[in-house]
Structure 1
Amino acid sequence: MKNIPVAELDDDPRAVLPIATDYPPGCLLDWHEHRRAQFLYAARGTMVADTDRGTWTIPRERAVMIPARTRHRVMMDGVRTASLYVEPAAVPWWPDSCEVVEVGPLLRELLLAAAELPVGYRVSGRDGALIDLLLHELATLTPLPLHVPLPTSPVLRSLCREFLLHPHVSVTNADWARAALLSERSLTRLFQREVGTGPSAWRRRAGLLAAVPLLRDETVSEVAARLGYATPAAFTHAFTRELSMTPSSLRTVPS
């Protein structure tokens, strides 16, 4: 099934609907939700998914598991998806919050094969076995730490959203405290209570996650300069320490 809106098939009795979709660069799927749980995988390109609870960055060879009825939006950067839309009753083990997971070679090939299934595929025989194996593989996945939570306070949430749009290492707690009309101590205490980490640590991680989609088309040096790092080496060290992968591993063109 390719380039078919899931709403057209949502009443299909099959528990799993595999749908592949092509999106142009810079495409924003604005706020929406699905009745089914969604396994959103980009066979190519990079995605950033937002919910009311946080932001998830999905580089290539990763996917995001989205619970049913979760309000979300997704920025697609030259993406071709191979998604699964799953009846919640068929996956009682599905996470109750979005999770980014790694897609290994077997799961990737299963997703691509499922995308070739026709509308109304047979639930018995090879087609059904393929879907059953996919569900077994999904149940074994463990989450990757590729997200940042958002605070609940409107003023703090606004600061975080603005930072995600314009990340830079020069932003300080003092800057945020002035904007929020709080002392630095009050800002840090409130942020820690709502998010579970301090604002400096949050900005460091958020900025590095914001670098992931940039690395698809820009060099490591260009991304480091854009985020305000003194050298590419300093950026690479911070990125690798925080995200357990090198920025060069996400490049689609040589640095």
Structure 2
Amino acid sequence: MSEKIRLEVCVDSPQSLAAAIEGGADRIELCAALETGGLTPSPGLMALAAQAPIPVYAMIRTRPGAFVFDDADVVTLLADIDAVRAAGLAGVVLGANRPDGSLDHELLARLAGQAKGLGMTLHRAFDLAGPDFSEAVELAVALGFERILTSGGETTALKGLDALARCFDHAQGRIVIMPGSGVNLDTVGAIKARLPLREIHSSCSVASDAPADKALELGFVALRPKHTDTGVVRRMKAALA
């Protein structure tokens, strides 16, 4: 009997958190501002998520933009890891690059040390370390990460299937390679057919109602906001079965 493929759902609101849990998600990636790729969630959202019946990993990312961090960023990253531990969540989602795109070994080792005792996912900072990801995979294994969230260095996991397959081959089961980006009901079948999946990452989202004109005009909401949908989570789980 084949091993169950675990579905991680990324969420950035109380409503999406509830929908992911109700739909049957196996794990939550908890963020703020998914429209910017995800930032560290608020203390209130972490406190709410700590009541979830499934593991919750919080994004540790101080600001939008590249994953090259200065000393002020690092102070915040370390404090955010402590906040995740204090909230009682299961783990953290980390990543850091050097200016040339390679993974920042020194900083990642420091962050991993701060996160000792928590689960760790290496996020898509990994995707900047290609096109040969073998060294980055080895670093993630050495630092004790449980998994790597990656699109194979492409805009979507579907486009990055060849690189993802090479990552799976290199990892040899020592670390989970978790495809993410553009994973939806239209693409999951092709991804599943090509890769020996153990886990996969998706927002399982649908477009929200159009924002009120004034709120949009004042910049309070995204032009095309999305939210995780319980029905989509259920259908994604069925597609993975």
User: TM-score surpassing 0.5?
Assistant: no
Kindly indicate which of the two structures has a greater share of residues assigned to strand: 1
- More relative contact order, 1 or 2 (CA 8 Å, 6+ apart): 2
Choose 1 or 2 for highest CA Rg.
1
